[in-house]
Amino acid sequence: MSKLHVSTIINGEPTEFLCDGRQTVLDVLREQLSLTGSKEGCGSGDCGACSILVDGRLVCSCLMLGAEAEGKSIETIEGMASGEELHPLQKKFVEMAALQCGICTPGVLVASKALLDRNPDPTETEVRYWLAGNLCRCTGYDKIVRAVMDVAAEMRETAR
């Protein structure tokens, strides 16, 4: 099987990998690059557990080929904390117990950060629609939505 050579930037680091024509970015992240934070819940775009940013755009990494990452800049959950310092969203999720089993959490965090980066003052409805593609079997969503709203309010406060 001929392998494709792909050069990309992952969480700010220039990264190269080899993949075949049917491997997804999620496969590459988890199996080749040992970045196992992104989860596979469905593999069909329904659950959002595999959410990443590609050139700043939120996508499902299970629905993107590894080969398509050539020349792109990718952000995953592993890039969210700065060293040991958790991102405010991560801290708040722990504090408010906005997670139980944690399978959906990396995707929810990546998606929530993408929302707050473009809309620092979302309404509850906007949060719920934005996260409609992130399924959670445990929390019932309420704690997640409240945590995101809380962090948004705090980040607006600090930005002042």
- Partner interacting with residue 160 (select from ligand FAD, ligand FES, other proteins, none; CB below 5-8 Å by kind): none
Least spacing, CB of residue 137 vs other proteins, in Å: 15
Q: CB–CB of 139/132 below 8 Å?
A: no
Strands 51-54 and 57-60, bridge-based pairing: antiparallel
Q: Which one of the spans 65-73, 75-83, 116-124, 134-142 is the region binding ligand FES (CB under 6 A)?
A: 134-142
Q: How many CB atoms sit inside 10 A of residue 160's CB?
A: 5
Closest CA to 73 of 54, 86, 89, 60: 54
Give residues with Cβ within 8 angstroms of 101, minimum separation 6: 137, 138
Q: Give the H or E element holding residue 53.
A: strand 51-54
Residue 46 binds ligand FAD (CB under 6 A): yes
77 binds ligand FES per the rule CB under 6 A: no
Q: Map the footprint of ligand FES across residues 5-64, applying CB under 6 A.
A: 40-43, 45-50, 60, 62
Q: How far is the CB of 63 from other proteins (least distance, A)?
A: 5
Residue 114 as a binder of ligand FES (CB under 6 A): the answer is no
* Total H helices, total E strands in the chain: 5, 5
Residue 120 contacts ligand FAD per CB under 6 A: no
Residues forming contacts to ligand FAD in the complex (CB under 6 A) are 44-46
